[in-house]
Structure 1
Amino acid sequence: MVRAYTQEHVYRHPWDRVTTAVWRKFTDPDTHAVLSHVLDVHTLQQRIEPASGRLHAVRSITIRSPPLPFLLRRVLGQEAVVCHCVESTEVNARGRTMEIVTRNASLRGLLEVEERSFYWPHPERPKEWTAFRQETSIRCKPLAAVAAVAEKVEQRCAERFQQNSVKGREVVERICKYLEAEASSASAISC
């Protein structure tokens, strides 16, 4: 069984600011207090397509899971697990879109998670706001035969992903406000 979830949000900031904040999300010093489950982030690859100007980047992200459900604790013999994920990003600056796809690289025999995030100028206020959509699919593999257990595991994972998604949006909003203040200060000094 695969569970799919979609969340949408409107950032009341321009696309350039939001995508800059998304890039800074894991490096901002105040982020760790909010996203404490993120243990490590490394850029593995970055390249720009000369013809289109599109940026492609791949990062590894290491996270710590919340306490596991009883059955998984028994199977794995531990309270929580460390999971390694691969995040692939494509930024189309000319078309003003950004897509991020994150998949777990470890624990795939137990659980498959894919998260897709899209950022684009809001259709009603394209110079001022940014539209965001996040699609998450979760599949608990070996427990599929025991549907009730699989459903509980998937639901618990989904709840955690939704909570972390809210926290991630809060971090991006905070960084956008910081960038806005930074831009205002710079323009006041140049006057």
Structure 2
Amino acid sequence: MVLTYTQEHVYRHPWDRVTAAAWRKFTDPEASSALSHVVDVHTLSRRFDPDAGRLHTTRSITVRSPPLPFPLRALIGGAPAVFCHCIETTVADAPRRHMEVVARNAGLRRLIEVEERSIYEPHPLEPDRWTMFRQETRIRCKPFSALASIAEKVEQRCAERFLQNSAKGRDFVERICGYLEAEASSSSIAAAQ
């Protein structure tokens, strides 16, 4: 069984500010307490295609999972919490004002597969002022014929956790947009004087 969740959010900030904030989400000074499930982030590769105006980036993200039900703990060695490594690929297309971020778990794939796809584009009604954010999360527990009910509970728990963490991430992008807006305003005032 595959669970799919979609979310949409409108940032009342222009695309360039929102995408700049999204890049800074994990480095925000207040992120460590609210995004405590994120343990480590490393940039594995970064390549800019000057002809197309696209930035391609791959990052490794290590997250702490919520406590697992006892039967699943036994399958993976008994630890109540598990660290999972994820790979995030991003394509930021500045000329088209389109950024797509896809994160997939690299660890625990024999138990569960998670894919989170996020798209940032100018809002159709206010393209110069607002940004449309769309996110789709797909979660699939590997088949456990004897443990089907546990697999469903794990899928549901994972989905709840992803939805909570997604909301926290959006809040941080909003906060960083506010910082960037304040910086831009300060620079404009200083330049005018």
- TM bucket (normalised to shorter chain) is over 0.9
Code of the residue aligned with 2:115 in structure 1: it is: E
Q: Among the aligned pairs, what percent are the same residue? A: 68
Which residue is equivalent to 2:38?
Answer: 38
Instruction: Return 5+ residue gaps in structure 2 as ranges.
Output: none
User: CA offsets, 1:10-42, max 9 Å, x none?
Assistant: 011110000000000111111111100101100
Code of the residue aligned with 1:11 in structure 2: it is: Y
- For residues 64 and 121 of structure 1, what CA distance do their matches in structure 2 show? 33
Number of equivalenced pairs: 191
Code of the residue aligned with 2:179 in structure 1: it is: Y
Code of the residue aligned with 2:18 in structure 1: it is: V
In the TM superposition, what are the counterparts of 1:93-104 in structure 2 within 5 Å? Answer: 93-104=94-105
Task: State which drifts further: 36-45 or 26-35.
Answer: 26-35
Q: Does 1:166 align with 2:167?
A: yes
User: CA offsets, 1:53-104, max 9 Å, x none?
Assistant: 1110000001111111232223220100000000000001000000000000
Instruction: Return 5+ residue gaps in structure 1 as ranges.
Output: none
Q: Does 1:157 align with 2:158?
A: yes
- For residues 69 and 20 of structure 1, what CA distance do their matches in structure 2 show? 38
Alignment check: 8 A CA contact 1:11 1:130 kept? yes
Alignment check: 8 A CA contact 1:144 1:150 kept? no
Which residue is equivalent to 1:136?
Answer: 137
TM-score, normalized by length of structure 1? Answer: 0.97
Code of the residue aligned with 1:19 in structure 2: it is: T
How far 1:48 moved relative to its partner?
1.1
In the TM superposition, what are the counterparts of 1:99-114 in structure 2 within 5 Å? Answer: 99-114=100-115
Which residue is equivalent to 2:127?
Answer: 126
Helix, strand or coil at the partner of 2:165: helix
Which residue is equivalent to 2:68?
Answer: 68
Code of the residue aligned with 1:24 in structure 2: it is: R
CA-atom RMSD, angstroms?
Answer: 1.1
- Structure 2 vs 1, CA of residues 186 and 144 (structure 1 numbering), >3 Å: closer, same or farther? farther
Alignment check: 8 A CA contact 1:100 1:118 kept? yes
- For residues 24 and 83 of structure 2, what CA distance do their matches in structure 1 show? 23
| Misfit runs of 4+, over 3 Å | none
